[in-house]
Each structure stands twice: as C-alpha cells, then as structure tokens.
Structure 1
Amino acid sequence: MSPRCRALTLVLSLSILAAAEAEDGVPLPRTPIGVPEVRGCWLTQYVYLGKSEAQLRAIAQNIKAGHMNTVYVAMYSGATVYWPSRAYKAAGGAWGSSTTDYAAFLTDVFHSEGLKVGAWFEYGMAVGPATHPLAVAHPDWLARDINGDPVTNENGGFVFLSPGHPDAMALLTEMVRELAANYNFDEIQVDRYRWGRKSSAGREFGYEAATASRYLAQYGVNPPADVNDPQWVAFREGLVNAAMQQAYTAIKGVNPHILVSSVPVGSYGITQHMQRWPAWVEGGYLDLVMPQMYLTSLSAFRTEFNTQKALAGAHVDKLGVAYRASEDNDWSLVRDQLNYARSRGVPHAGLWVYHQYTSQIAIQDEIDNLPLPGRPWEALAYNPFVSERMLQVVVDNRDGAPRYVESGAWTNSAQPDFFRFDSRITAGGPPATATFSAALPKSGRYDVFVWYTASSNRNDAAAYTVTHANGTATVPVDQRTGGGQWVRLGRWVFAAGPLAPRVTLSSAGSTAGEYTSSDAVKLTLTGYALGDANGDAVVDAADLALLDGCPTGPDGGPVGAPCEAFDFDDDGDVDLVDLAAVQLAAQ
C-alpha cells in the first residue's frame, strides 16, 4: 500500500471507530448476539394453516420468548405440499393450497420477527397411504418387500418411494431444489430419507424391480431372500446415501450458502431403516444432523446420546439433538437432557413439537421455563450454521402493490410455465411497464434473475431495467425461448434500504403481434459491498480490519472476493474514490 493510501486508512480508522459508538458513547449493537447454539422447534402445518399474519407473528414471538432462534416449518407433510411445486404436481400430487404460497408467506413473516427459517421436508421418501395419487400413478416407484407388498407399518400403512428408482429420486431432488431456488429459506431440512419397515426388525424393503435390477447388474445375482445379508444391506444403504448426496448437491447448486440438515430416527435407523447418517456427514453432504432422541427418561437418553455421539466421530461439531418435548414430557426432563448433552459438547437442539394436541402448545412449558435464570437457555443464542450471506429476495406478480405495480394494459397469460400461480402479458403497441420493488436488508452484490413465460409470439427484446447503487442497467431478453425458469440478467451492487424499485420491465419497442411476459424477479446476495466487508449491515472497525491490502489504485484490479466490498463504484478496482466512500459510509 502506498504512503498516501496508508494515511487515508488511518483517517478511516479514526472515523470508523468514532462511528462505532452511539452519541451517548454506548457501543452500537452488533450481530450475531448471544451464544452460538441452534435452538429450534418444528412447526406443523396443522398449526399455521388458516392463521392470519397477526396470529403467525404471535407464534413467532412466542418461539422467541423461549430464546429459540430457528423454526422448521412443514412444507412437505400430510401427503401434500404447501408451496406450488411444479415437480410434485407434474408427478400426480396436489398442492395444499391453490391460492396461498405458504413457503413465501411464512418465510417473510418469521424472518421479519427475527427467526431463521428452515423448510421442513418432512415426508421425504414417504408418500402417504397406498391410495395416494402419486402411488397410484407410479406403482413402479414404490419400495416393496419380497412378496411385492409396498405397505409399511408406519403411520397406519404408508408406502415409500424406492431410493433405487431414478425417477422417484429425481422427483424429490427437484422438489428440494425448488424450495432452495424459489424462496428465502435459510435451511432445507431433508427428513425421512430412508427405507420404510414392516416390523421392529426392519430391512424388509428393496425387492421392487428398479432396485433388484440394479443389484443384479452390479453383482450378477438377484437380491438374497435374507434381508440382513451384509452385501444386500450395504447396497440398499448406499442407495439412500446417494439420494441424500443428490439432494445436497442440488440445493448447494442453487445457492451454496443454504444450510442442509436432516433429522434421522434414533440409532435403530441404521439397523432397521438402513439410514446410515454418519456416511452423510463423513461424505461432506450434510451440514447439520439432529438425530431424534425422543426418550422419556434421563438414563435412556444418556445411552442413546452417547451412541449417537460416537456415530458422529470426528464430526461432533455437526451434531445436534432432537428432543421430545411434547406434553407427556415434563419440561424438567428436557432441561436435564439438555444439560447432559451440553455438558458433553453438543448444545444444538430442536424441540418436538410446536403443535396443539390439547389446550396448549406442546412445548409451551419448555418455552416458559428453559430461558429462566440458571436454566439451559437463559442466555440468548444465534444459529451459527446459517450463513449471513444467505439472502434471496423474490418478487412475484401475485404480490401486488406496492411490491408489484403495472402500468398499461396487462392480462393473465394462458402459458403453463409460470412462477407460482400465474403470469401476466401485455400486447405490443403503447408501452406498458411492470415494476418489481423490494426492501434489501443488506448492502451487497446481488445476482438478478427474471422469470417469464416463453412463446413464439413473445417479445424478442423485452427490456429489463435494473436500478442499482451506481445507476441503472437495461438488459434485453428474448422471451421467445428460455421461459419457465430463472434467467440471470447480471450482477450489480445494491445498497441496503426500504422498499424501492429494483427491476422494471418495459414492452417499449414491441410490435402489435408481440407479447411481453411479466412474472417474477429474484435478487440473490453473492457478496458484500459498500464498505460492509463482513455482512453485519454496519460499516465499522471490523470492516476496517479487512481493508488493509485491498487498495489497488485506478484500473489496478480486478479485486478479489475479500476486497470487493470496498469497490463502491463497481469498476473493478479499489482506488481513492472508493476509499473516500468508505469514509463517508462509516460516518
């Protein structure tokens, strides 16, 4: 760094340190706050369905009153889905609602109340009863025992998808990919990735044609009748492992900052369901695992906990505990179990379950008691597994004003490849516009995507104008092809701020026979900007510590990722113009 740059850095240091305190000298709050512990609970669809926004906010505030920081909302449960999943519908399933996208609704509400939000993919390979439309439409997808029977003894006779059937696993992979790509979930929790069972002995399934043919191709013989044959067991475990890895890869391919977790059954999951979760963490395709330790005595819990901790091996840092905290458990037992796990280096916890079996919420006694002085959750906590870079903002035409505003003549489109529930079109002629507005909680570099419906009569140069921190940029898009998916326009710097126009679509220049499609916009945070190098939404001394070595001088770039936050004008270098802007940002 030149002497001039070092001098400016000193000035910046003084100004930033001064700005790091409020006028009364009290340090400004910084995030995260509290101890690094996952404290979550599972929220069933039976609780949130039909609730108003005010009622949902009351639920969120109740969860936070228990000093919890994460809520896992049921998205695939009750033999249906609670977001408009195109993959699930195409396979024969039905949506839980044709008018409300609960994935969007719940993430918006719970995030605004300060909670991290996980999409609980509860059913996983479980389908529902044998009469479920998916099971009827695809009988070859189902796992079967040696007699060809797909019915398990779980949930009154559920059937399961076979991890040996590529099309069945492709469906699940696409469903979790949708949750990752189309919403602002911090976490995708992949549940029930395992075989079903008929009895407490388990391991009965895997004799369906898809799996049997793969075994024959690999070993040259048909699967053995002995369900406990070591080679046969390892083969079926491997299919489950491969399915989990496939889901993980799909989610991370959308956004590497999304946390991927799972809640496997107890230690019997390996011996009965062939659910060998240690392979998932060892293989690097699971970020957090919280085995179900639903024990009703402390001694039984200790035994199960020590078994699960041993299975985690060198990956205890990825281990949490799912506690049974329903009404038949006194809160003091959960307290004692928490204390035991925490004393052995496993503080991360989830409480089963935020559900109303009787007159009160099942975990209300834990919410009321665990945060009290001297108890395990007295201190506040933050979820250390969730990346501060995990931020996706989606605006859909169904959002309406003020997030989505049209001018000119627009109508609903008949094209099927819309985002969520429908899309809009306008004919060429007098110009029409559609403006997508969003609030951005963090300054940063964002990838901007658009979704439209494609057709041969679409506008071949639909003009999308992006309004960013350094001006505007207009990108023409040929809407005759490439619809029904996210199409990237580019990457720009945006300043944190309240609701404001981010992308405007115009039909200007289109002819009378051309139609412009308006559907959705997505902004995905990819890196920090405008001096906020650590992403805590404040420009302060912590950012200054990252500035040394970043100045390049005019046209001296490109700058690397650690320094891109200081390239205010997004011109590829960090020069005196940028450093002066850092100084102003810190004042």
Structure 2
Amino acid sequence: MTTPGAGRTCRLTAAPPVNTPRSATPRSVTPRAVTTPRRRLASLVRAAALGIPLLLLGALVPSTASASASPVPATVPAVSGPPMTSAACVTDPATPKRQLRAMWIASVANIDWPSRTGLTAQAQQSEFRAWLDLAVRNKMNAVVVQVRPTADAFWPSPYEPWSEWLTGTQGTNPGYDPLAFMVAEAHARDLEFHAWFNPYRVANHEDPNRLVATHPARRNPSWRFAYGGKMYYNPGIPAVRTFIEDAIMDAVTRYDVDGVHLDDYFYPYPVSGQTIPDADTYAQYGGGFANIADWRRDNVNLMIKETGRRVHQAKPWVRFGVSPFGIWRNASTDPLGSRTSGLQSYDAIYADTRLWVKQGWIDYIAPQIYWHIGFAAADYAALTSWWSDTVRGTAVQLFVGQAAYRAGASGQDPAWQQPGELSSHLFDNRGHPEVAGDIYFSAKDVRADRIGAFTRVMTDHYSRPALVPAYGSAAAPQAPSITSATRGAGGVALAWRGGSGAPVSYAVYRVDGSPSADPCQFADARNLLTTTRATSFTDATASPSGAYTYYVTASERTHHESAPSAGKAVPGTGGGFSVVVDNAEASFSASTAWGTSAYSSQRYGADYRFASPVAASDPAWFAVAVPEAGSYRVEVRYPSDPGYNSSTPYLVATTTGNQTVIVDQRTGGGQWRDLGTFTLAAGAHNVVGVSRWTSATGYVIADAVRVTRL
C-alpha cells in the first residue's frame, strides 16, 4: 500500500524493465475428438511477462490470466432423508464449496474505517455496516478488521488507550464499544470477524510527548525506540512481549472474535543509513545467540509461539493467523527459498515465517503476494507455488493477500491496468489446492472497483457463495429439519429447526425440480443459495412458477458441515413442460465443420460435437417443439476442458430476436448451466444455437440443451 503506516509493506531490491503484459487468452489445444490421439492436456503455457519496477509500501500483484483447472473429484457427505453413501463427484472449480473470501478493513490513518476522525458513534456505525454489506454483496464470508493499529485499542482496553483514529484524540472514549458492535454486526451477516493487531508499532512519529500521558510506551520509556520516523516497542524485552500478548488476549477473552490476525510489521523495515537501536538490549538478553540477527528472530518467534498457545488455551476455536511480507528468502540465498530476488523478510524484518508454518504455531498464513504474474523479481505464480509447497503436509491453511489497491490505480505498472489481473491470480490459485482463499487490501479499493477489476473477480470466481474452510477436528452438528417452505409474493419462505451439536451457521441449497437426493448436489456451491445464522430465509430469487427442492445444512464454530436435511419440495406452476435435446437427436443440426467426439466422461449421451472458432457464425442448432408462447428457462450442458473456448457464444431465439449469452467452456462441465429465462414463440423451431464466431481460442462444444416452461 502507498499510505504510510497502512499495515502492509512490500519492497523489492531489483526492478526489471517495463515490457508488454502477457496475453490473458489461453492457447489453443487439440480437442478430445475421436480422430485425434487421446493424450492428456498439459497445463496451459503462460506467456512470459517481464515485471515493472516496484518500490512501494503495500502488497504484491499478479497481471495475467491463467486457465482454470479441470473439474476434480470430491468426496461429499451423505444426504439425509433416504440414506446415501459418499460419492465421487465432478466439481466445478469456478464454484468451490469452501473458500475464504475476505477484505482487510484498515483503521490506521483512517484508510477505510472510520473514514475520518470525529464522526459521531451513529455515523461510524453506519459506515461500518456499509462495509459489511459490501462484503456480503461481493459474496465474501469474512472481514479482517484492524482493532489495534498503533498500540491503542478499538475497545475499552485496560492495557492501552482508545485509538486516536476514532475521535481524533488518543484516549478519548468514542461513546460506545466499537469491537462489540463490529463483531455483532459481522455475525448477523454470517461473516467471520478476524481481529487484526499490529504487534510492535507505537506511533507513526517519534515524539513520545504526543502520546496520551497514560500510554504504556510513555510511562515505560525503556520499552520503546525510534527508527525511521516511527516509534516501536522493542521486541527484545521480555516484559514488552508479555504486555503485547496480554493486550491481544484481553480482546480475545472478552469478545466473540473468530480469528486473531497479525500483519507484516515485526522489526522495522530497513531504512538506509539507520541502525535499529537495540544493541544494549541484545547485550542484556542476547546471551546464547551467535549474532544479533538470530536473537531478533527468536524474539519474534517467541511472540508468535506464545500468542498462538495463549489464544488456543483460551478459546480453541479461534484461529491465529499472520499476513507476512510475501518473500521469506530468495533461493539465491537459501535453497529452501523462492525463485525471487526481492527483500527477504527472514533477514530484513526477522520474520521466520516458514518456521512458524512448519512448527504449527499458527493456524493460517496469508502472505501478501502483491506482485503481478511474470514480475521478474517476485512472480506471483512462483510465490503461490512456493507457499503451497511450504504449507503442504502441515495443518496450516494458506490464504493469499491480494493487492486490490493496485488494480487500475494511477502510477501502477501496465500489468495492473489490465482488468483481468486480479482474476488471473485466482485462476493461478486453482492450480494449487493448498490455496484456500484470498484476502483483499483494502476495503476502499474493493468498493472502488477501478477498471472493473473486482467485478471481473466476481464474474469469474464468485458467482456463488462459499463456505469458510473448515479447520480442526470438531464433530459436525446433526442435520437440521425444514419445518416449512411456502411460496409467497416475496419468494419462497423457508424455516427450519437446528439439530444437536451446537450449530452456529446454516447453509441453504436449492435444486431445480424434484430430483432424487444426490450427494453430488452439495459437492460444490452450484446449488448454494446463502449462509445464515438465523433459522429462516426467504429465497427472493425463486421463479414465481419454478419447481424446486430445498435442503439445509448446519455448521459449528469451526465450519464442519452436517449432512443435508431431508429435501423440501416446492411445486411449480408452469405446466410441467421440460425437454432435453441431445446433439445425437434429429432436432439437432450442424455443418460438416463440426466434428464428433466421445472422449470426455462429462458428455451428455453418447457423444458431443466440437468445432474451431472462426469469424463467422456457423451455429450448431438445437430445435425444440415449444408448446405455447411464454417464459422458459434455458440450460446447456457440455464437457469442459482448460483448452476449450473461454467465450463460447450461445444464441437463444426469442420472440424479439436472437440473444447471445457467453459461456466459459473451460469450466463447469458435466452439469446443467443456466443461460437465463427467455420468452419463446410457440411451435417447433431452432431455439438454442452454439456459434463459432468468437475471438477466443479453443474449441467450442455443442452437447445438449434443456428447455423448461416457467
């Protein structure tokens, strides 16, 4: 980030020359046609892109698109009602069942909230609710809120003064308890609340007389030092370490937080020509260490280890996580390091983040990988690979810190002027199953949505809600039971009872029609409507005449999910007409340019058709005998592959002309994909076409369509 003291610092020691960003278009791949060898597709080759100079405070960023991964099998729990056994299901990587989606809400320097000092309590609360509502609209499931930015507090702490960022004057009561308010409001929206603490920073200035008279750093001058224009607690003093832990634990024990989150400020980032003034402290406490660097790292290690232990002793369900600088060490320095050439947090700020993961002292790590894909000094793709390797085989979850603040911002390199840069990072993540989600810095940049970058993330990756990744080994609650499902003017109103096992949150699923219960309906989020801490929900998206079956599951504090409830069917009022047209039927027509293949197991029926993109329509058409004019749901099915077309045009012949819907056939195969609701004319005629006219590479596929009267 570019704002001083914002809680993120990224520095690189090398700056490669500017070059043209790589293309976001995947390369063409030979189809799985019966006339070609059945070789397995290699992962898409990314065009190399040289980086852009980066010497900023903030996070690292990616810049190019990568192809999504193919659907993968997943084991899902049995569905209640008629008992079911676990089954291997084809899941869509674009609609993952579990994925942390969060944003940092920074309070230091009023970056995000409150927007300025001196607001009334009511105005502060209104602003914060708006941030939470933004998170919900963007299908996030957590917020990370800075509650101790500069050795101060956003709650009535007995250890530290009220934060100046609330009222403008350090030590002044804002008239309410912000932390209690924030936690309650987040949980009311079923958002996890991670309390973000900056451990050592005392002030963004060096003058102790500007601190409130009762400030511990002012009353204990030996605890602090000045460096680089800022004031810090000295990490080498045992009493300081205990004090910081006590201040954090006060919030943990008194408030219902879901996580304790530390940022990347440990020892100060290096300032040219200055030396950290802790030689006397090293002389007093550094016995047994060969050098001051090892001693400094041990000081930070002790704080991390002890904080994690104390958090888990007090509340085993609260997660302890750290968001460090994105580079541990470079491979040129340490063979265990990453293929990077930037500042090394191990050496520069004495943060041995790899050790914390390997020792299991933390529950999650969220490295700030704020560089773009292809950046020479710190390639996003190289770092996600390194961090994935680092957490593999441990119980530590990996979330990626994403630099929303760079997307479309003035002064950023050309990679960040591409609307798909952030989205490309998440496509890259799909190739690493260890990556369990993302956190965006910061809230105001998510809201700004410059150049539509976050809208692109939503479209490509957040089309459905997602559950928070489960952690620990707690038993899941018993399945809930739906007590009512009533169609009304506002939609379908559901109510249910929770079962035993301390349920905290519920997930609501909706399946079209009244199919038999199938575990694969819950394998990913394609049927997930929402999560809530209430025991009722109104599905306002339900069609007034559509037939649906609803299910509800329950989760406890650590997000282990119950089996689904028995399904509750809501009959439709649309006359019951529904027809599937396969490519093998007489009502399908296509030119000789369309080949036939039976390779993919995701196909509908015996085979499917494929064709290369051209600058002409040449559609393959599915004809339907429409019984009467009216509204119809149109769905399509196709096998997917990373090498298929990312922008396949589907044509729907409506009463007002053809409407085009673009579908990414790289993902979502083997399931019905809803194109929308359309007004169709009566009679037998071509209704759905698959066009070849697309500028994207990769084969377009025509397999089957389903048309349902609403």
Taking structure 2 as the reference length, the TM-score comes to 0.45
Shift, 1:540, TM fit: 8.2
Task: State yes or no: 1:152 paired with 2:227.
Answer: yes
Q: Tell me, which stretches of 5 or more residues in structure 1 are unaligned?
A: 1-15, 21-32, 143-149, 220-229, 391-439, 447-495, 499-531, 545-587
Report what 1:139 is aligned to.
221
AA at the equivalent of 2:201: A
AA at the equivalent of 2:437: H
Measured at CA, do residues 180 and 387 of structure 1 come closer, stay the same or move farther in structure 2, by a change above 3 Å? farther
Task: State yes or no: 1:378 paired with 2:471.
Answer: no
User: 1:105 aligns to what SS in structure 2?
Assistant: helix
Task: State yes or no: 1:41 paired with 2:103.
Answer: yes
Report what 2:420 is aligned to.
332
Report what 1:186 is aligned to.
258
- Give the Cα separation in 1 of the matches to 2:347 and 2:559: 47
Whether contact under 8 Å (2:154, 2:163) holds in the other structure is no
User: 1:370 aligns to what SS in structure 2?
Assistant: helix
Q: Which moved more, 1:85-94 or 1:281-290?
A: 85-94
Higher helix content, 1 or 2:
1
Measured at CA, do residues 535 and 163 of structure 1 come closer, stay the same or move farther in structure 2, by a change above 3 Å? closer
Report what 1:344 is aligned to.
432
User: 1:81 aligns to what SS in structure 2?
Assistant: coil
What is the CA deviation profile of residues 131-187 of structure 1, one whole-angstrom value per residue up to 9, with x for unaligned ones? Answer: 243443322112xxxxxxx3333xxx2222222111111111011111211111111
- Give the Cα separation in 2 of the matches to 1:282 and 1:233: 20
AA at the equivalent of 2:160: Y
Percent of counterpart pairs with the same letter? Answer: 16
The 5 Å alignment of 1:503-514 reads none
- Give the Cα separation in 2 of the matches to 1:100 and 1:389: 35
Measured at CA, do residues 389 and 366 of structure 1 come closer, stay the same or move farther in structure 2, by a change above 3 Å? farther
Shift, 1:111, TM fit: 1.1
Measured at CA, do residues 292 and 140 of structure 1 come closer, stay the same or move farther in structure 2, by a change above 3 Å? same
- Give the Cα separation in 2 of the matches to 1:211 and 1:17: 66
- Give the Cα separation in 2 of the matches to 1:342 and 1:152: 41
Shift, 1:113, TM fit: 1.3
Measured at CA, do residues 152 and 44 of structure 1 come closer, stay the same or move farther in structure 2, by a change above 3 Å? same
Task: State yes or no: 1:266 paired with 2:322.
Answer: no
Alignment equivalent of 1:88, drawn from 127, 135, 160: 160
- Give the Cα separation in 2 of the matches to 1:445 and 1:334: 38
Measured at CA, do residues 539 and 152 of structure 1 come closer, stay the same or move farther in structure 2, by a change above 3 Å? closer
Task: State yes or no: 1:318 paired with 2:393.
Answer: no
- Give the Cα separation in 1 of the matches to 2:450 and 2:201: 26
The 5 Å alignment of 1:55-204 reads 55-78=127-150, 80-89=152-161, 94-95=170-171, 97-121=173-197, 123-128=198-203, 129-132=205-208, 133=211, 134=215, 135-142=217-224, 150-153=225-228, 157-192=229-264, 194-199=266-271, 204=275
User: 2:346 aligns to what SS in structure 1?
Assistant: helix
AA at the equivalent of 1:237: R
Task: State yes or no: 1:218 paired with 2:263.
Answer: no
Measured at CA, do residues 119 and 363 of structure 1 come closer, stay the same or move farther in structure 2, by a change above 3 Å? farther
User: 2:351 aligns to what SS in structure 1?
Assistant: coil
The 5 Å alignment of 1:422-501 reads none
Report what 1:241 is aligned to.
301
Report what 2:528 is aligned to.
none
User: 2:312 aligns to what SS in structure 1?
Assistant: helix
Report what 2:370 is aligned to.
294
AA at the equivalent of 2:199: G
- Give the Cα separation in 2 of the matches to 1:535 and 1:277: 27
What is the CA deviation profile of residues 394-432 of structure 1, one whole-angstrom value per residue up to 9, with x for unaligned ones? Answer: xxxxxxxxxxxxxxxxxxxxxxxxxxxxxxxxxxxxxxx
- Give the Cα separation in 2 of the matches to 1:441 and 1:183: 25
Q: Which moved more, 1:379-388 or 1:169-178?
A: 379-388
What is the CA deviation profile of residues 35-61 of structure 1, one whole-angstrom value per residue up to 9, with x for unaligned ones? Answer: 211111101223332445454333222
Shift, 1:269, TM fit: 1.2
- Give the Cα separation in 1 of the matches to 2:395 and 2:232: 30
Report what 2:4 is aligned to.
none
Measured at CA, do residues 72 and 254 of structure 1 come closer, stay the same or move farther in structure 2, by a change above 3 Å? same
Task: State yes or no: 1:17 paired with 2:81.
Answer: yes
Whether contact under 8 Å (1:353, 1:362) holds in the other structure is no
- Give the Cα separation in 2 of the matches to 1:206 and 1:356: 36
Report what 2:278 is aligned to.
207
- Give the Cα separation in 2 of the matches to 1:533 and 1:383: 10
Shift, 1:83, TM fit: 1.0
Greater Rg, structure 1 or structure 2? 2
- Give the Cα separation in 2 of the matches to 1:97 and 1:297: 45
The 5 Å alignment of 1:364-375 reads 365-372=452-459, 375=460
Whether contact under 8 Å (1:62, 1:367) holds in the other structure is no
